[in-house]
Amino acid sequence: MTSQFHVIDRRILTPSDIESLQRVFDEEIKARRITHDCPEAAILAARLIELYQRGVRNKASLREMLNPAA
């Protein structure tokens, strides 16, 4: 179900969006072998949210776009 908030402003994150983002973030943290509280993780989280707010919702696409070479 799509939230009515997404119709108003795609930048608003719903609880479902946050859960999805958390899963991708946790997978990336594990893959990169970094901690959740390091500077790289903060940059990763900001980039992930930015991509999601721009409409990238597919998990594989998000992970690919988070690749430093992307």
Answer yes or no: are the C-beta atoms of 19 and 25 closer than 8 Å. Answer: no
pLDDT tens per residue across span 16-47: 999 999 999 999 999 999 999 999 999 999 99
Higher pLDDT, 51 or 2: 51
d(CA 16, CA 58): 14
Answer yes or no: are the C-beta atoms of 62 and 24 closer than 8 Å. Answer: yes
d(CA 26, CA 40): 13
pLDDT tens per residue across span 41-65: 999 999 999 999 898 999 999 999 9
